[in-house]
Amino acid sequence: MPRILVHTPGFLTTIQDLGRPGFAHLGVSASGAADALSLRLGNLLVGNPETAAGLEMTLIGGVFEFESETLVAVTGSDFEPRLNGASVPLWTSFAVRGGDRLEFGPTKSGARCYLCIRGGVDCPPVLGSASTHLLTSLGGLEGRALKKGDVIQIHRGSPQHSALLRMKPEVLDALFQATPLRVTRGPQADWFSRETHALLSSSPYTVSENSNRMGLRLIGPELKRTIDRELLTEGVSLGAVQVPQGGQPIILFVEHQTTGGYPKIANVILADMHRVGQLRPRDEVRFEFISMDMALNLFQQQELLVNPQSLVPA
Amino acid sequence: MDNPKIIQASDHSLLVSFGDEVSLAHHQSVMRLTTLLTASRPAFIRNIHPAYCSVLVSFDPKMTSPEAVEVYLVSLVRTVESTPLPHPRHIEIPVCYGGEMGPDLADVAAHNKCSLDDVIRIHSSGEYLVYFLGFSPGFPYMGGLSAKIATPRLATPRTRVPAGSVAIGGSQTGIYPVSSPGGWRIIGRTPLRLFRPNEEPPVLLQMGDLVRFIPITNEEFARLTSS
């Protein structure tokens, strides 16, 4: 069984796959990769199913040693990966041999970088998923972030598909456009005035340091409610823009609670959630309201790009 | 039953709401719809989030459209009223009150101008309905707390509440099944595991259960933990 040694874990590195949907009625958050698109594409680059587990690094990457030869790909943001000291490209699969060291530094672009390994990370699935849910210590390696000295087990990959591949640059450009975050109206959109909606879509908000996989707290113009009663606790969606007392919005993210009691003015569209996963503290975000039809259209267009046709020989 | 409202909550979820106040009737409608959804569970449904009077249903837009999900939900809602509810299960939860396991017991007593024993007696003499599981894995939102021991949440939530902690938050009581941050007042701890992800079912309590708390000593807690 191939293995990876963790020499240094980086700032916050966890095992992630596409999460554990299906248990929200038991209070279990779906969790999963913060930038699921980068994980899925990384898996395609090494010949894995999209759902295989990889390593998600945050802001500062780690140093990893491979025990035996395999195929890997690095996707997401640029943490300046180096293989035995020599720079390696992102969005491209490459071979590593036993004893090779893959080192990552601090990010040069967004918040998260993914290391996908042929076969995928092997850890006991919890409710069908390897995804780490940090807040409740579920999944991954003992439900926690990786630490120095950890040994990561890798599934044996299929013997086929050893081709070296890279993403078409035009596909990457299409997937990571620097548009405002597109949102649809939230279930309590009418708790806020037309002016407040305009304020949300015309003002820059800053990502607070106090943000994590559970939610991104934003700092900016106060979003005042026109209805001032308490909202009875109800189910919440990934990407919901909820507004607590004080009017500073929070984007509910992959480790969000299954239910919540704050009104939700908007919801980030699915096709933009991977870009939420790349937001760093102090980054500026802007919002743009679009229709549900447009949101679904953008999602379908994006899904067409997540397939082997978007890869070419490296 | 009132006709529920169905709205699109996002590009991947619909919210079915039966009303906007906590009531047994709304709870039963939520429970019936949740039962129907979990029993039929078509592949396009990703998650079902029941709450006090609503059910949020998230779907995979790769497999279906919001319109089709709405049609499906409307068809289920039509049969909600005729769906039988199982007899509620009666579950006893042993609790070691106070001391290190219930660091806020004294605050709850002080807030309500009663003794520690009064809080324990009142808390353990009530019967509590599990409205739904939410917040964190297996966390029961329970109704039925006596107003005599209701206590506001902590101004600053704890960053880590130990698993098994029994707590009061306003007029609700609950149990933290896993260690997590939390702002409710901790009055005791149960040795029972409310969330055991590798067992079937993975949760001890389910929506609709009727719960009683049974006071136990430190020694009984230790014995139950080891068994």
Is the pLDDT at B220 greater than 80? The verdict is yes
8 Å CB contact of A235 and B15: yes
Contacts 24+ apart (CB under 8 A), A241-245: A241/A183, A241/A186, A241/A200, A241/A265, A241/A266, A241/A267, A241/A268, A241/A287, A242/A186, A243/A192
State the best of B6, B10, B21, B206 to mutate against chain A, taking most chain A CBs within 10 Å.
Answer: B10
Query: Which chain B residue's Cα is nearest to A229?
Result: B20
Closest chain B C-alpha to A36 CA, distance in angstroms: 14
Is the pLDDT at A160 greater than 70? The verdict is no
Q: Which has more pLDDT, A253 or B81?
A: A253
State the best of A40, A238, A258 to mutate against chain B, taking most chain B CBs within 10 Å.
Answer: A258
Instruction: Name the pLDDT band for A163 (thresholds 50, 70, 90).
Output: confident
Place of tokens 């509910």: A252
User: How far is the C-alpha of A109 from the C-alpha of A125, rounded, in Å?
Assistant: 31
The pLDDT tens digits for B138-177 are: 999 999 999 999 999 888 888 889 999 999 998 889 999 9
Instruction: Name the pLDDT band for B56 (thresholds 50, 70, 90).
Output: very high
At B181 the pLDDT is: 82
Structure tokens at A165: 């591949």
Instruction: Name the pLDDT band for A256 (thresholds 50, 70, 90).
Output: very high
In chain B, which among 5-24 make CB contacts under 8 A with chain A? Answer: 7-13, 15, 17, 20-22
Place of tokens 């149960």: B190
Residue B67 has a CB neighbour count (10 Å cut-off) of 9
User: How far is the C-alpha of B35 from the C-alpha of A13, rounded, in Å?
Assistant: 38
Is the pLDDT at A161 greater than 80? The verdict is no
Instruction: Name the pLDDT band for A136 (thresholds 50, 70, 90).
Output: confident
Residue A233 backbone phi and psi in degrees, to 5: -50, 130
Share of chain A above pLDDT 70, in %: 99
**Is B38 touching A (CB cutoff 8 A)?**
yes
Is the pLDDT at B32 greater than 80? The verdict is yes
Contact A192, A226 (CB under 8 A): yes
Query: Taking residues A1-17, what's their average pLDDT?
Result: 95
The pLDDT tens digits for A70-82 are: 999 999 999 999 9
**Is B55 touching A (CB cutoff 8 A)?**
yes
State the best of A37, A136, A241 to mutate against chain B, taking most chain B CBs within 10 Å.
Answer: A136
Residue B110 has a CB neighbour count (10 Å cut-off) of 13
**Is B151 touching A (CB cutoff 8 A)?**
no
Residue A110 backbone phi and psi in degrees, to 5: -95, -165
Is the pLDDT at B179 greater than 90? The verdict is no
- Name the E strands within chain B: 5-10, 13-17, 45-50, 54-59, 90-97, 128-133, 140-143, 158-161, 165-169, 172-175, 180-182, 185-189, 210-215
Measure the CA angle with vertex A112, ends A110 and A114; round to 5°: 130
At A159 the pLDDT is: 61
ipTM attached to this prediction: 0.95
Residue A174 has a CB neighbour count (10 Å cut-off) of 14
Is the pLDDT at A209 greater than 60? The verdict is yes
Selecting from B55, B132, B178 the residue whose C-beta is nearest the C-beta of A137 gives B178
The pLDDT tens digits for A193-203 are: 999 999 999 99
Share of chain A above pLDDT 90, in %: 91
Is the pLDDT at A241 greater than 60? The verdict is yes
User: How far is the C-alpha of A34 from the C-alpha of A27, rounded, in Å?
Assistant: 20
Query: Taking residues A284-310, what's their average pLDDT?
Result: 96
Measure the CA angle with vertex A73, ends A69 and A78; round to 5°: 135
Share of chain B above pLDDT 90, in %: 80
Q: What does each C-alpha distance from A147 to A13, A87, A151 come to in angstroms?
A: 8, 24, 9
Place of tokens 């070419």: A312
Average pLDDT of every residue of chain A: 95
Closest chain A C-alpha to B213 CA, distance in angstroms: 21
Average pLDDT of every residue of chain B: 94
At B226 the pLDDT is: 84
User: How far is the C-alpha of A226 from the C-alpha of A233, rounded, in Å?
Assistant: 19
C-alpha B43: how far from chain center: 26
8 Å CB contact of A235 and B50: yes
3-class SS at B210?
Answer: strand
